[in-house]
Amino acid sequence: MTIFFTSDHHFGHYNVIKYCNRPFTSVQQMDEIMILKWNETVLPEDEIYYLGDFAMKSFLVPKILPRLNGRKYLIMGNHDRCFKGNSDKWNQFYTDAGFECLVREQQC
């Protein structure tokens, strides 16, 4: 088992292609290539600590997260709907999608 740390994929965020000079022509291409590269690197038994900003559109979380290898733990970022101040509904949404655990800034 390997432990990985990653962040800021911003799945579904078209403007991040421009802002971060990502080499993609569409958000769909970006998302699919990032999923492919993730799964080429991460094995199903690996642990991933995700340091925030998984997806810009919450409806993408349950669509993309199950496609990614590994046991995933989310340390919430400001673009994650479950970020501090948001309701328990969003916490449940993210754990139902497949994050093993959610950590807020004030818990650290």
Tell me how far CA of residue 4 lies from CA of 23, 49, 71, in angstroms: 23, 6, 10
Q: 94, 83, 8: which is closest to 59 by C-alpha?
A: 94
Domain boundaries of the chain, sorted by first residue: 6-73
- Region 23-48: mean pLDDT is 96
37-72 pLDDT tens trace: 999 999 999 999 998 888 888 889 999 999 999 999
Stated pTM of the model: 0.84
Cα–Cα dist 55/36, whole Å: 16
Asked if 91 and 99 touch (Cβ cutoff 8 Å), the reply is no
Helix (H, G, I), strand (E, B) or coil at 95: helix
Asked if 50 and 74 touch (Cβ cutoff 8 Å), the reply is yes
